[in-house]
Amino acid sequence: MDFDLPEETKALQRLCRDFAAKEIEPYAAEWSANSYFPAEVFTKLGELGLMGMLISEEYGGSNAGYVAYVAAMEELGRADQSVASAWNAHSTIGSLPIAVFGTHEQKERWLRPLATGEAIGAFGLTEPTAGSDAAGIRTRARKVDGGWVIDGTKMFISNAGTSISAGVTILALTGEDADGTKRYGTFFVPEGTPGYSKGQRLHKLGWHALDTRELIFTECFVPDENLIGEEGAGLRQFLAVLDAGRISVAALSLSLASKALTLAVRHAGEREQFGRKLHKFQAISHKIADIATEVEAARALVYRAAWLADHGRPFSTAAAMAKLYASEVANRAADQSLQIHGGYGYILESEISRFYADAKILEIGEGTNEIQRNVIARAVMAEAAR
């Protein structure tokens, strides 16, 4: 069993580390304080070939795979969670529905600009009355001559309101079968489409530099060619790409936990109390030991899920486990790191305070941890019944 990353992946990780140190980390606190979305960073990521890591080379991506993607996320997320979360949403649910289910024409038209970094991708599922209950969405797409008319509202949607947004891929109800079963469709709504509007940026507890908004569709017409995949299969399509998003959020969580550990170690090695460095106190050293152990356990789960995905093996349960555990580790690591920082950690000027505020959403986004436990329990019970 080889736990070493391939040399090309190590080189990619160094590239991301250097980029993050130069282009992200020095400005992250300012971006957060001003709720500024750094569009220029994503253009540069595109120039480095990092905006289409999970996309086929045929359509402008690098098809680097999930292990390489996780390795890159570790470095970007350690620099800033807002940038990394935008990259996460773009790379997975913002791009993969088109990549997996789109036609050649749709991929050339919409996926290629996403893969090359000319634009950033977004996906609209969550609504004011539907989140974990994906089947409970109310946004409707009504068939008309030549296309579809969309009415409804999406909530908590990231990347749709930026200066480089291409549009948004959404899930909508398209009707019902004779037995009452709901039908769903996936549609791409380009930026500037009449009837498609966006609310003001939402003021969040964390991820301040990530652009997140309400999206409103009022008699919004899109032509037939904007339907992605098979009409009626939209929900299944979304669920099929959701596991990739869970690996991505798990990797984002891993990056936060790792950074929280680094900040804790740094502060414990510099701060003195009672004439001794903090790490000389057993209470502090044990906190650091616990964080370090959990970070390594999370890393093993995250990379295992990514490895399974790269090798074409079932990874749904592994992705749920990785997302569940890594996100909870991130919250515990941020909490204990801030505790080690004491009062210095509680002021907004401290680096750990930003990561502490960013941590909670990791237990909520891409399927709450309650949903992850449901997924895992069903899989375990199904395996036991075989």
| Paired sense of beta strands 140-144 and 123-124, if any | unpaired
How far apart CA 31 and CA 33 sit, in angstroms, is 6
Per DSSP, helices labelled H in 130-274 are 234-270
Tokens of 116: 């090359």
Max Cα–Cα distance, the chain, nearest Å: 79
CB-count burial class (<10 Å; 0-12, 13-18, 19+) for 94: buried
Tokens of 38: 């750094």
Instruction: Name every residue whose Cβ is closer than 8 Å to that of residue 205 and which is 6 or more positions away in sequence.
Output: 357, 360, 361
- Which of the 8 DSSP states describes residue 99? H
Q: Is the dihedral angle over the CA atoms 281, 286, 292, 295 positive or is it negative?
A: negative
| CB-based contact 222:189 (threshold 8 Å) | yes
| CB-based contact 169:215 (threshold 8 Å) | no
Instruction: Give the Cβ contact number of residue 132 at 10 Å.
Output: 12
| CB-based contact 123:168 (threshold 8 Å) | yes
How far apart CA 386 and CA 7 sit, in angstroms, is 40
Instruction: Name every residue whose Cβ is closer than 8 Å to that of residue 131 and which is 6 or more positions away in sequence.
Output: 156, 368
How far apart CA 254 and CA 384 sit, in angstroms, is 30
| CB-based contact 288:261 (threshold 8 Å) | yes
Phi then psi for residue 268, to 5 deg, are -65, -25
How far apart CA 120 and CA 95 sit, in angstroms, is 9
Q: Which of 57, 127, 366, 383 is catalytic?
A: 366
Is 270 in the active site?
no
Active site residues: 366
